[in-house]
Amino acid sequence: MPRVSVVIPVHNGARYISETIDSVLAQTFADWELLVVDDGSTDETRRVLARYGPAVRCLAQPNRGPGAARNAGLRVASGKYIVFLDADDRWRPDFLERAVATLDGLDDPFIGVCTGWVAIDAAGALLPHTQTSRSGPLRLDDFVFGNRVLLQVVLLQRKVVLDVGGFDEDIRGMEDWDLWIRLTAARGQLLALDQCLAEYRMHDASLSHHVDHMRHGRLRTLEKLFARADLPPPLAALRPAALAWALVLSAAQMFAAGRSDEALADVCHAAALHPAVLADRSTHYALICATQPRAYHGTPHHVDLPTGERRIREAIAACLAAVREVDPSCGRHAYGTAYAVLGRLAYGQLRMQTARRYCRAALHADARLWADRELLATFLKSLAGAPLVRTARQWRAAYRRARSRRE
């Protein structure tokens, strides 16, 4: 019996599946079995899999989605531990060795370990600003406001996954988040290791681009969570805030997909459920940066500030018009917070004059922000930083002129 079962679901994944399988074959830990579940592929996937012979155990089923494919692999797996790897991602050679060694040394309540990851593009090149890792235990309360880990980097006790019924096959796009919630609610904790040992591929064909699946998955997962009779009261009280944040994330994806009317409807729904969401800076970052390239999320890079400003003003205005529970003072604070975020992003782009303009607009919209140390610090640093930016730009221009003359 192998120590680890690796399950890879694949649907029309001929382009990347070889890289994924090769990353398993290259593991420094060798006591594993590899199960690939072909979920109704119509491309060259089966021909690619056939090249690996007995090294890969192949299963086939009609197309039923990734959750059903993972469950099919789970049912026939025989390892003590199990891990699910998507058909376009890759592990670094020591992923299994480190994960297994850690999980072997853990007792209850830990049921699995997870590592960090970096993102790669369609060609396999590393994308900037994408390293993600955490450390320490992850409990149920860590998952109320969203998915904290990537499915491909989680090694679990196979028995506990079977005990909770595996993946919910009706959820597509957030089925891993739903699984973490059910596992931590019923069985224990995950231990996060601050080591980036996997590569997550970002490309246009990835399921995370399927906006409707993601929206349904978020809302269905939270519906199930807050329907639990055993949910502690402090967590149950987070229902409005958690649902509002899920709707904000869906709205950001709708904006990115060019579906502005649906996005505004989700923002208004979020504000109706939890008006305080309009004062949360995370809301404004999500909506202002909605069309930012995914590899740069969480940074000021490649954010179209004028478009982001129009988008957030439109969203706030729609909420104020549609939701009676949002009073004028909340609206003023929402505008002030939006401009504070814009100021911070402009400062990160070294656009000091724009940063000052946004900071002034924030203070004009809501006088309470005079007590906001981050906003005032951004404003003061933009004053101090302007001469430095001009000097740097002048130096670069002089350097380019000198190099041009040499050439």
In the chain, % of residues over pLDDT 90: 83
pLDDT interval class at 323 (50, 70, 90): confident
Residue 407 has what pLDDT?
45
The domain of 246 spans 238-397
Residue 51 has what pLDDT?
96
Quick one: 42 and 110 in the same domain? yes
Quick one: 76 and 153 in the same domain? yes
Residue 184 has what pLDDT?
96
Residue 116 has what pLDDT?
96
Find the mean pLDDT for residues 180-198: 94
Per-residue pLDDT for 151 more than 90? yes
Per-residue pLDDT for 21 more than 70? yes
Residue 271 has what pLDDT?
95
Q: Which of 287, 380, 306, 366 is nearest to 332 (CA)?
A: 366
pLDDT interval class at 175 (50, 70, 90): very high
pLDDT interval class at 394 (50, 70, 90): low
Residue 113 has what pLDDT?
98
Note whether 153 and 116 are within 8 A (CB): yes
225 falls within a domain: no
**Full-model pTM:** 0.89
pLDDT digits (tens, 9 = 90+) for 32-49: 999 999 999 999 999 999
Cα→Cα distances 188→73, 110, 133, 194, 307, Å: 23, 6, 20, 20, 44
Integer distance in angstroms from the first to the last C-alpha of the chain? 67
Quick one: 177 and 243 in the same domain? no
Find the mean pLDDT for residues 372-382: 91
Give φ, ψ of 64 to 5 degrees: -130, 5
Residue 129 has what pLDDT?
81
SS3 content of the chain, % helix, strand, coil (to 5): 55, 15, 30
Distance CA 68, CA 161 (A): 14
165 falls within a domain: yes
Quick one: 252 and 340 in the same domain? yes
Note whether 169 and 64 are within 8 A (CB): yes
Per-residue pLDDT for 187 more than 90? no
406 falls within a domain: no
pLDDT interval class at 310 (50, 70, 90): very high
Quick one: 13 and 159 in the same domain? yes
Quick one: 334 and 392 in the same domain? yes
Find the mean pLDDT for residues 211-215: 93
220 falls within a domain: no
Q: Is 172 left (phi over 0), alpha (psi -120 to 50) or beta?
A: beta
Note whether 138 and 106 are within 8 A (CB): no
Residue 298 has what pLDDT?
78
283 falls within a domain: yes
Residue 397 has what pLDDT?
59
Find the mean pLDDT for residues 360-377: 94
Quick one: 125 and 38 in the same domain? yes
CATH number at residue 299: 1.25.40
Quick one: 140 and 275 in the same domain? no
213 falls within a domain: no
Per-residue pLDDT for 226 more than 50? yes
Tell me which DSSP letter residue 301 carries: T
Quick one: 196 and 248 in the same domain? no
CATH number at residue 161: 3.90.550.10
pLDDT digits (tens, 9 = 90+) for 232-272: 999 999 999 999 999 999 999 999 999 999 999 999 999 99
- On average, the pLDDT of the chain sits at 92
Per-residue pLDDT for 406 more than 60? no
Higher pLDDT, 400 or 286: 286
| CA geometry: angle 221, 225, 231, nearest 5 deg | 170
Picking from 186, 208, 230, the residue at the C-terminal end of a domain is 208
Q: How many domains does the structure of the chain reveal?
A: 2
Cα→Cα distances 313→258, 364, 369, Å: 17, 15, 18
Quick one: 27 and 125 in the same domain? yes
Residue 400 has what pLDDT?
58
User: Hey, is 60 helix, strand or coil?
Assistant: strand
Quick one: 146 and 192 in the same domain? yes
